Amino acid sequence: MGQQEKVATSLAGAVSEEISASLAPVDAQLERRYPGDPGTRQPVHTVYVPGDAFTAGTIRSWGDQALALLDEHAPDASSFAAVLGLPDELAEAVHSRVRAKLEREPIEDLRVDFEDGYGPRPDAEEDETAARAARLIAQAYRDGTAAPYMGIRMKCMEAPVRDRGIRTLDVFLTGLMEAGGLPEGLVLTLPKVTYPEQVGAFVRLLEAFEKAHGLDAGRLGFEIQIETSQAILATDGTATVARMIQAAEGRATGLHYGTFDYSACLGVSAAYQASDHPAADHAKAVMQVAAAGTGVRVSDGSTNVLPVGPTAKVHDAWRLHYGLTRRALARAYYQGWDMHPGHIPTRYAAVFAFYREGFEQAAARLTRYANRAGGDVMDEPATAKALSGYLLRGLDCGALDIAEVARLTGLTRADLESFASPRRGGLTASAQ
C-alpha cells in the first residue's frame, strides 16, 4: 500500500459557511426557477379540433382516416419508405409501428379549439359547445377512449374576447368537475399572449377556480402560445417569453409556437409562412433557451399543406411534413401541431425513424457510461441525461419497446428515469 498523502488546508470552516449563507438566496432561486424536466411523458404532437366539430368519435375517426390514406397511397412498407426516403433497414419496423399506432392511439394530445378554429359565435352556442366538450372528454376518460392528453384552447386574454374566454373556461372546467373531477391528462392552452401580465391574470383565474372547488393549489397548469413578436422581444429588449414563464408561477407546462400568426405578425408573406423560416427558427431558439431547465416544454408549430387529392399531391405533402418533423426533432423540438388526419402517418413515421435509427448507438453509449466502460466517445453526466431522455421518449411514443431497450442496455425504465433526472437522485456508479 502506497504512502498516504498529507492533506492540508488554509481556510477556516467559517469561510465556507459564510459563502454558503451568502448564496442561500441563489440556491433557493435555482431550485424554484430551474427544477429540471418534470419527468412526465411529452406528447409528440397536438391536434386542434374546432369545438363544433369535436365528437365522441373524433379520435377514432382521425385514426381511421389516416389508415385509409395509407391504404390508398402507400399500402405497404416499401412504398411508404420510397415516398419518405426511409432506408431499407427501417422500412418494415417504421411502417408496422405506424399502423399499430394509428389503430391503438392515433392522437396523443387533443385540444378542443374555441379560438381561431372556432371563431366568434353567439354566447349561448359557445356555452353549449363548451359544456358538451366537458361531457365528452369526461366520458372518454371514463371509458378508456381518451387521448393521453386532452383539453381546450380558449380565447385569449385581450380585451375584446377576454370575458368570453373566461366564461368558456369556466363552463368547461365546471362541467368536468360535475362529471367526476379533472382528468389527469387535462391540458389548457392560452393563445396570443403578448404581455407577462396576461399570464399572471390567467394564473389568478385558475387560482379562483381551484379555491371555488377546494382543489389543491397549482392543480391547473397551462400552455402558453407564442404567436406575436412581442412575446419574444419586449420594447425594452428583454425576452418576454422568459418573463412569461416566471409570471406563470410554476403552472406553465409548455410553450407552443404559432407558425402562421407569428409569421404574419412579422410581415412574412403567406407563401413563405412555414416552421423552417428563419424568423421561426429565431423565435423557437429564444423559446428554447428561455424554457431550458424550467420544466416547461417547447412545441413546434404546423404546416398548412394538407395531404389530400391525387396520390402525387399526397406524396408531396407527406414528404414536406416528414422533412419538417425530422428537422424539428434534430433541433430538440419533440412536439408539434398536426392539422389533418393525413399528417399523423408522417408524424409517427418521422418520430419512429428518429428514435429507431439512433437507438443502438444511444443504447451502447449509455451502457458504457452506466458500467464505466471505455469506448470511442467519452460521455459526461449531461450526455447520459440526454441519452436516457432520448430512449424514454422513444418508449413513450411507441417507437421502442422496453424489452429491446433492456436487451441492449441491461437497464430498466427506472434506471433510465434516474439518469434522465439526476437532480431527483441519479445513478452514480454502475446501473443496479
Direct distance between the N- and C-terminal alpha carbons of the chain, in angstroms, rounded to an integer: 30
Contact yes or no for 142/62 (Cβ under 8 A): no
Report the pLDDT averaged over residues 74-96: 97
Which has the higher per-residue pLDDT, 13 or 215? 215
Distance CA 232, CA 281 (A): 12
CATH superfamily of 45-354: Phosphoenolpyruvate-binding domains (3.20.20.60)
Distance CA 11, CA 21 (A): 16
What integer best gives the mean pLDDT of the chain? 94
Report the pLDDT averaged over residues 6-17: 91
Half-sphere exposure of 189 (CA within 13 A, CB side): 27
Q: How confident is the model at residue 229 (pLDDT cuts 50, 70, 90)?
A: very high
Q: Name the nearest CA neighbour of 99 among 78, 70, 128, 119.
A: 70
Question: 243-257: per-residue pLDDT in tens?
Answer: 999 999 999 999 999
Question: 97-145: per-residue pLDDT in tens?
Answer: 999 999 999 999 999 999 999 999 999 999 999 999 999 999 999 999 9
Question: Quick check: helix, strand or coil at residue 109?
Answer: strand
* Phi, psi of 248, deg, nearest 5: -75, -10
Question: 395-409: per-residue pLDDT in tens?
Answer: 999 999 999 999 999
Q: How confident is the model at residue 431 (pLDDT cuts 50, 70, 90)?
A: very low
Distance CA 342, CA 142 (A): 28
pLDDT of residue 382: 85
One-letter identity of residue 257: Y
Report the pLDDT averaged over residues 341-370: 95
Distance CA 135, CA 127 (A): 13
- The cell 372518454 sits on which residue? 140
Say what angle helices 311-330 and 344-357 make with each other, to 10 degrees.
40
Alpha carbon 48 to chain centroid, angstroms: 14
Question: 53-76: per-residue pLDDT in tens?
Answer: 999 999 999 999 999 999 999 999
Residue 190 pLDDT greater than 50, yes or no: yes
Distance CA 302, CA 16 (A): 52
One-letter identity of residue 82: A
- CATH 3.20.20.60 domain extents, the chain: 45-354
Report the pLDDT averaged over residues 174-184: 97
pLDDT of residue 110: 98
One-letter identity of residue 41: R
Say what angle helices 381-397 and 402-409 make with each other, to 10 degrees.
150
Residue 79 pLDDT greater than 80, yes or no: yes
